[in-house]
Amino acid sequence: MTGETSPIELWEHPLSPYAQKVKIALMEKGVPFSSKTPHAIGSGSTAEEFRKTSFRGEVPVLIIEGHAIVDSTIILEFLEERFPQPRLLPTDPFERARARMIEEVCDTHFEAINWGLSEIVHFKRATGELADILRTRAGEQIGRLQCWLERELAEPDWFGGEQFGWADVSAVAFVQGASNFGFPPAEGSRLSRWLGRCIQRHSVSAVFQAAGQSAAVLKNVAGQIKTGAFKRQYRDHRLEWMIRSGGLQVVLDGLKQDNIRFNSEPS
């Protein structure tokens, strides 16, 4: 739900799975918000004004009552406290911990694989044999994560039981992202049926529709990389994924050509 008169503003990009997570949570809670995308987000050349709001130059950023809240997990925690109904976290402490663990795995392991696939498919960091190797290893890793999520899902409709909640919000963008790269859950599996149920929800379908409409921007990004106009961020789990999956040369080439970047300290 969006509206220009809303007191809540979300800085985001429709293709960011972290922003997707926050938008789904806002819509599930019925919290009205407006959204906008910072200029040149993700390129390493975001405006200084935005970097003052998000020191890593990343989305999402939630602006509410003069406060700027960064990091999708922290934003979800804030929303759960500020807008407790309908709740996303289970009431049982062990189930709450399990929901957060699922989020952590998706935010780090799963995101890194999807991000790496984007480096290959859209940004053309690797071609030929190396691209085939990285894609094959990504598929194997996604398969293991899907099996893990399948076990965590067990029999209920949702990860939290009978109610769509925190773990579902946290996982759906990454499972769908892998599907977009040609690695969907096994047909007929519990995880596949779960993804189908998620997509039927208004919040999820609206977010994915917006992402689809924005996908056209990916057509020219490989050229921007070559010219140095776009520097992709190789932080923590992303850098680890590329190296452990066989893409060390990708990192070395990016450093040499000055078209990758890392986090810097806030100032």
44, 71, 104: which is closest to 262 by C-alpha?
A: 44
> Could you list the pLDDT tens digit for every one of the 267 residues in the chain?
444 445 899 999 999 999 999 999 999 999 999 999 988 777 777 777 777 788 888 999 999 999 999 999 999 999 999 999 999 999 999 999 999 999 999 999 999 999 999 999 999 999 999 999 999 999 999 999 999 999 999 778 999 888 999 999 999 999 999 999 999 999 999 999 999 999 999 999 999 999 999 998 888 899 988 888 889 999 999 999 999 999 999 999 999 999 999 987 776
Is residue 74 packed enough to be buried (19+ CB in 10 Å), middle (13-18) or exposed (0-12)? exposed
DSSP 51: H
Residue 166 lies in a domain: no
Residue 128 lies in a domain: no
Tokens of 4: 């220009």
DSSP 6: -
Say how many C-beta atoms besides its own lie within 10 A of residue 100's C-beta. Answer: 17
Residues 6+ apart with CB under 8 A from 131: 120
Q: Residue 73's domain spans which residues?
A: 8-82
Tally of structural domains, the chain: 1
Residue 253 lies in a domain: no
Alpha helices in 160-235 (DSSP H): 166-180, 190-200, 202-214, 221-227
Residue 241 lies in a domain: no
Q: Specify the CATH number for the domain of residue 40.
A: 3.40.30.10
Enumerate the β-bridge partners of residue 68: 63
Residues 6+ apart with CB under 8 A from 75: 22, 25, 60, 62, 69
CA distance 131 to 144: 20
Residue 195 lies in a domain: no
pTM: 0.95
Residue 121 lies in a domain: no
CA distance 254 to 251: 5
Tokens of 182: 């040609």
Residue 68 lies in a domain: yes
Residue 45 lies in a domain: yes
Tokens of 105: 């795995």
Question: Would the CA dihedral through 104, 110, 115, 119 be positive or negative?
Answer: positive
| 60: preceding bond cis by omega (within 30 degrees) | yes
